[in-house]
Structures are given as structure tokens and as C-alpha cells.
Amino acid sequence: MYAEVLIEYNSKTIDKSFTYLIPDNLDGVLKVGMKVVVPFGNKLINGFVTNIVSDFEGDYEVKNIIEIKDQELILNKELFAVAEYLKEETLCTKIQAIQSMLPSALKVKNQKNNYEKLITYIELNVNEKEINNYISNNGRSIKQIEILKRVLEDKRVLKKEIMSSSLNTLLEKGVLKETKEQEYRIQNTEEQENDLKLTHEQQRVVDAIDLNTNNTYLIHGVTGSGKTEVYIKLIKEVIKTGKTAILLVPEITLTAQIVDRFYKRFGNDVAIFHSALSEGEKYDEYLKILRKEIHIVVGTRSAIFTPLENLGIIILDEEHTESYKQDTNPRYHARDIAKFRTEYNNIPFILGSATPTLETMARALKGVYKYLELPKRVGESKLPNIEIVDMTEEIKQRNFIFSSLLKEKIQDRLEKQEQTILLLNRRGFSTIITCSNCGYTYKCPYCDITMTYHKSSNNLRCHYCGYTVLKSDKCPKCHDATLNYYGLGTEKLELELKNIFPLARIVRMDTDTTSRKGTHAKIINDFKEHKYDILLGTQMISKGLDFPLVTLVGVINADTTLNIPDFRSGEKTFALLSQTAGRAGRSDLEGEVILQTFNKDNYILNCVKENDYKKFYQYEMHNRHKLNYPPYYYLCSIKISSKDYDLASGEANKVKKYLESHLSDQTIILGPATASVFKINNVYNFQIIIKYKKDDKLYKSLKELDNIFALNNKVNISIDTSPMRI
């Protein structure tokens, strides 16, 4: 028998399996989906068995498969189908698709073995009589006898509890022995909680969902309307029938809270996946799935690829979140993969959000998705009152960061011992440093943008490529000492806040304060336990957090996302601000929100203020229609990049010509234009945007383009068939 093995090959143009002979010792053992070690050229590499056949008619010498690797890992039929889909949708190779679906411990490139965490126990190696003989023999140390008695009593003792030289003697003498057992790194320690009785509104939503067919549902529920409880109920129903469930959540900040809630309700039946887990932890969680020890997966984007069998439901919480889209190859959107898997399994697909994307809402209104609404918060709690503060007026009174109103409200909360959350969507200290003498501005020499000053480390960093320089006291160019700092970041906000409220306990959450493992969860827990009065941070703090004592939310600058030149900036602003506002007043204490802005008449901000999604939707749909954007048109973005400016520009023009001659006449091709950040890491980027409604020739042409450039090592092309931004 022969096996076809898919290997990782360093060229995009070769995307195929190679045939190997199955040696006798693996005959009947080897299965499709297994990972194997095979000879390739003069090396040994890993690959996946894609097929087992009885004949081989190639013109090369067939070599033997060496061995099976990672015994427990088998890619099932569904995962192969997902890989095929991923390949078609994102134009990646099949092996790339499979690679991106696996945790790094199990990827084909990984040569390291032994991810299992083993715990050593001590047990008896001889019978009780012999032990007694041994003990009654003179000259045994008290310590040895103590150890033996303990093992006699407990049968099995953790080695680390009795570590001593006496133990070593007993082991050497063969009286005791060591046994090793695998231990999962992550274990649920939460106490179990009973289910809540759903409200009528929640029950109505649950009842409307048919668990036995493939429909997509949008649960449009305001913040705090009890969506998560609905998910829990649905999953309970699903696992009652022996099936399994995936719940996708946007970011790790949110995962921590939701995972706790799931552990409390489902005990050990949950595996979790997010980027803050170590390789070993991810490996363990993956094993729990492969061994069918759990029914529920809760995780971020890549959790959509976990090999749960007998799936019964997929839920995508906060479906509007950008982090569901992968920004690197393969550029997939978790929503699309989820859709594919729910169709494959004929099961329901649930999208939940307080601020759905326009695409999703449009489909729901058309009846393509079933629309379910939770317009009110659970119980007595009400949506917070939102006020807009005009910063152009405040500046006249020299209130540059905090308006008088926001200051007053923070003070009020401090006195009442309630909590405040402040959003500023920019990290660092100040975002621009310029010399007022010569006009010099710190800019990244490799990228096309100004560098952000980080005060704690006294350096300037490029947020694109990571390039860092120490800040000097004088202008690096004219050596004048008049450096000016503009643009406010979270680091400076924290400092200002401490100046104004010296007694307040303040904590900051952004990528800089949460880079170490476990820091996210710690900040959130400490804040929940009221060890802090004020939590300030970037958009990290906007989603999902549920703190009963938070009654004030302040947005320092509501304009940051509004000013980003992107067709989704309105949608993003509405979502970010509504979500952030939703952190206030989630219990019986009433909440209040202050939005500081330089555009007080902005339509979107006023929709946020009135908490009127539908009004926002009408307005934004009108804009999208006028400008041929989704959901009226599909988008595709092509980036052409090179270190050589002329080459990049020349090739970009050729790509445009190619597309013009290959695509349908109805398709709109824009560009090439310089990409939003033109130069990153010394590479020049051009962009072409394709807008289309239906174009049968598109994917074929894109694939051809991709293949042409695969052979070009000076110019790179990257194609995104579902760009979230342009």
C-alpha cells in the first residue's frame, strides 16, 4: 500500500502530495490524516497523509514512510474539507491552510517532541510483607521509615512532596518506584454555579433557534441584555444530545471573564484557546479535544479550527470585532470558516452583537439570517445616559485633556466609592515630538510615520516595525532644547490623572502593560475586586467587561477612530463607543457616559448618544451605497510591495492592466494608489482595490496573479479577498 503525503515545500507553486510506501509495520495502522516522518531529498521532514492507495504510477523512486509522529493527532475529514475551503477562499496552499489550523506544537515544521507535562509519583515496588521486613531490619533511618509508611498508607505520593536523599536510597534499593502521569497545565478550579432562570425575552430567543438545521441567526442585543446567558443555555441544550459546541470570543481580555463563567457552569467540560496561552497549554487543550474529553471550546479566532467532532452549534460573540479577521496569510475571517463548518454539519450558526456589522445586519433584514432582538438590559438595569462634551469650548478654558464635567464626575465617583473606566485609543506618552526651532519631527527611518514617545522607557517607538531610539534631551538635528510633545497617549493620560486625583487608585491596561503573561487577567481581577478606582486603557477595555461598580465611562477623545481614512471608520466608531459605553451601569447602579469630542455635531456620535443603532444603520448604509462599498459590493484588496520604489510602482500598474483585461466590465478596479502606510520597514506598498458584485473570473485571475508573483523575489503581492479595512 502507498500513502500520499502532503509536505511543506518552500514554494507556493508546488502544492501537492508525494507518494510513499507504507512499510509492513505500519500497514493497517496508518490512517489518512496522520502526521508522518518521511525522507525528502536528503532530509527527513514531517507531512500529513492525505490518501492511502494500492497502486502507484509515478516516475520517481518510492521511499518508505519512516514513522508516525504525534500519535494522537489525526486530521479528520471535516478538517480536510475546511483546509480545502481555506485554500480556495484565501488563495493559500493546502499545507499552509493545514498549518494555520494547528497549534504550533503540532505544526509540521515543529521538530520538538514531548510537550506533555509529566508528574512523577512514588509507589511501592514490592509487596507489603517485604516492606515490613525492610523496615524491621536494623539500621533504617527514621526518615526512610517515615516515607515508607506514608507510601504504604497513600499508595501513591507526589514525588515533590517527599524529595530527600532517603527517598533516593529507597528507589535505588528497588523498594519504591517512580511512575509518571500526564497532567494538563490548565485545570478548572472554579466552583460550580447553578443556571439562572432565563427572562421571557431570553427564552423567546432560545426557543426561536432550531438546533437541528443549518440556519444563521443574528442575536442583536444591547450591551448587558443577557446574550451570554442565552449562549450558555443553547450550549447546554446541545451537549444534552451528546453534541459539541464552539464559542468564539473577540479578545483575550474578554476570554478571561467568559471562561470563568463557563467553568462555573460547565465544570471541566471546556477547553480554551487564546493567544496568551503557552505552547504547552495550547497543546494540552488540543489533546483534551482529540481525546474527546470535553464538549465545549471557548476561544479566539483560531479556535474555529479545533477538531471537535459531532459539532452541534457555533456561536460567534461580538461578531463585528475586527480581530476575527487574520491579517497575515492565510487571510481568513473566522465568520466564514464558522459558516462553512455549520453548513458542513447542518447545525445552527449564531452571531451575537450589540452593534452588528452592516453586512450582517443587511442580511438579517433581508431574511437571509434570522433576526432575534434583545432590546433591553436584563432586570432593572438601564442603558447609561450618554452626554457629548464639546472640547473646542473646553480648550478655551485650558482644559486640554479633561473637560470640567468629566473631572467633576470622576471626583463624584471617587467620593461614592464607585468605579470609572476611561478610554483613550492610543498608547504611549505622546504621539509626536517636534523641535520648535528647526521643525524636526521624530519619524521612523524605515516607515512612513511619526514615532510614539514612551516615557517609562524614555524612548521613541515605531508602532509599525518596532524600531526604537532613545530620546535625547535636545533636538537630534539642530541641538536646540525646545522639543515639543503633541498627541496624547494612555501613558500620559495616566500621569495627568494621578496629578489631578492623587489619592485615586489607578490602573492602565494597554499592550504595554499587558505584555507579560497573566497581566491581563490580574488587572481585570484586581479591578473587579475594587483594588482600583479607575481603569484606563485602549480599546482593550471596551468589550465584554462586566463590573457592577462601574457607573462612569469617559471617552477622552471620541474622534480618534472617526478620523481614520477607511470606509469602516463610522462603523468602528459606533461600535467602539457603544461597547465602551456599555460598560457603565450594568447592575442596579445607574451608569453615565461622557464622550469628549471636537466634532460635537457628528452624526455618528449622536447616534451613539441616542443609542440608536437603526438610525446609524440607515445613515451608514446610505454612504456605503453612494460609494459602492459593502454590503452593496464585495471588496478585494491587492497589495504590491517592494524595496525598490520603481519596481513596486511598475508592477502595480501591470497588475491593474492585467485585471482590467481579465475581469468583468461591471467590476470596479481602483488604483494603484499608495497604501495607507506607504512605507513600512523600508518596503514601499501600493494598493489596488477591486469592488464587485459578481465576477466569475475573479478568483481564477487572482490565483494566476499570485502564481506569477510567487516566482518574483523582488516584488511581493498579497491578496486579501475579504479586507476589513483598506
Burial label for 238, CB within 10 Å (0-12, 13-18, 19+), is buried
Nearer to ligand ADP (CB atom), residue 227 or residue 508:
227
User: Is beta strand 176-182 parallel, antiparallel or unpaired with respect to 118-124?
Assistant: antiparallel
Instruction: Report in angstroms how near the CB of residue 228 gets to ligand ADP at its nearest.
Output: 3
For residue 54, how many other CB atoms are within 10 A of its CB? 6
Residue 542 is a binding residue for ligand ADP (CB under 6 A): no
Q: Which amino acid is at 79?
A: L
Residue 221 is a binding residue for ligand ADP (CB under 6 A): yes
Cell, residue 336: 466564514
Q: Which amino acid is at 468?
A: T
Residue 501 is a binding residue for Zn ion (CB under 5 A): no
Burial label for 103, CB within 10 Å (0-12, 13-18, 19+), is buried
Nearer to ligand ADP (CB atom), residue 190 or residue 496:
190
Listing DSSP states for 494-527 in one string gives HHHHHHH-TTS-EEEESTTTS-STTHHHHHHHHH
Sign of the C-alpha dihedral computed for residues 506, 511, 515 and 519 taken in this order: positive
Instruction: Report in angstroms how near the CB of residue 265 gets to ligand ADP at its nearest.
Output: 11
Nearer to Zn ion (CB atom), residue 75 or residue 462:
462
Residue 227 is a binding residue for ligand ADP (CB under 6 A): yes
Residue 590 is a binding residue for ligand ADP (CB under 6 A): no
Cell, residue 23: 512499510
Question: Which among ligand ADP, Zn ion, none contacts residue 223 (Cβ within 5 to 8 A by kind)?
Answer: ligand ADP
Residue 658 is a binding residue for Zn ion (CB under 5 A): no
Report the Cα 104 to chain-centroid distance in Å.
15
Instruction: Report in angstroms how near the CB of residue 461 gets to Zn ion at its nearest.
Output: 9
Instruction: Report in angstroms how near the CB of residue 376 gets to ligand ADP at its nearest.
Output: 11
Give the separation between CA 582 and CA 575, rounded to whole angstroms. 10
Burial label for 626, CB within 10 Å (0-12, 13-18, 19+), is exposed
The stretch near ligand ADP (CB under 6 A) out of 67-75, 222-230, 364-372, 602-610 is 222-230
Pick from 34, 175, 271, 378: which binds ligand ADP (CB under 6 A)?
378
Contacts 24+ apart (CB under 8 A), 560-564: 560/424, 560/425, 560/426, 561/425, 562/599, 562/602, 562/604, 562/605
Interaction pattern, residues 268-307, with ligand ADP; x per rule: CB under 6 A: ----------------------------------------
Instruction: Report in angstroms how near the CB of residue 8 gets to Zn ion at its nearest.
Output: 30
**Helices 645-662 and 698-710: crossing angle, nearest 10°?**
150
Instruction: Report in angstroms how near the CB of residue 427 gets to Zn ion at its nearest.
Output: 15
Question: Comparing C-alpha atoms, which of 217, 274, 270, 219 is closest to residue 249?
Answer: 274
Nearer to Zn ion (CB atom), residue 462 or residue 659:
462
CA distances from 343 to 24, 101, 232, 335, 337 (A): 39, 19, 22, 12, 10
| DSSP at 409 | H
685 neighbors 640 (Cβ within 8 angstroms): yes
Which residues are paired to 376 by β-bridges? Answer: none
Pick from 246, 259, 364, 447: which binds Zn ion (CB under 5 A)?
447
Cell, residue 478: 539642530
Instruction: Report in angstroms how near the CB of residue 313 gets to ligand ADP at its nearest.
Output: 16
Subset of 351-370 contacting ligand ADP (CB under 6 A): none
Interaction pattern, residues 487-526, with ligand ADP; x per rule: CB under 6 A: ----------------------------------------
Pick from 90, 228, 420, 611: which binds ligand ADP (CB under 6 A)?
228
Pick from 67, 390, 412, 546: which binds ligand ADP (CB under 6 A)?
546
Residue 460 is a binding residue for Zn ion (CB under 5 A): no
681 neighbors 447 (Cβ within 8 angstroms): yes
Question: Which among ligand ADP, Zn ion, none contacts residue 435 (Cβ within 5 to 8 A by kind)?
Answer: none
Rg (CA), the chain: 30
Question: Which among Zn ion, ligand ADP, none contacts residue 199 (Cβ within 5 to 8 A by kind)?
Answer: ligand ADP
Subset of 181-210 contacting ligand ADP (CB under 6 A): 196-199, 202
Instruction: Report in angstroms how near the CB of residue 275 gets to ligand ADP at its nearest.
Output: 22
Instruction: Report in angstroms how near the CB of residue 554 gets to ligand ADP at its nearest.
Output: 20
| DSSP at 25 | G
Nearer to ligand ADP (CB atom), residue 260 or residue 279:
260
634 neighbors 692 (Cβ within 8 angstroms): yes
Instruction: Report in angstroms how near the CB of residue 503 gets to Zn ion at its nearest.
Output: 40
Residue 265 is a binding residue for ligand ADP (CB under 6 A): no
Cα end-to-end span (Å), the chain = 50
Cell, residue 706: 499570485
Residues 6+ apart with CB under 8 A from 127: none
Residues that contact ligand ADP, how many (by CB under 6 A): 16
Residue 224 is a binding residue for ligand ADP (CB under 6 A): yes
Report the Cα 637 to chain-centroid distance in Å.
22
Nearer to ligand ADP (CB atom), residue 229 or residue 533:
229
Instruction: Report in angstroms how near the CB of residue 682 gets to Zn ion at its nearest.
Output: 9
The stretch near ligand ADP (CB under 6 A) out of 90-98, 216-224, 331-339, 382-390 is 216-224
Task: State the residues that interact with ligand ADP by CB under 6 A.
Answer: 196-199, 202, 221, 223-229, 378-379, 546
Task: State the residues that interact with Zn ion by CB under 5 A.
Answer: 444, 446-447, 462, 464-465, 467
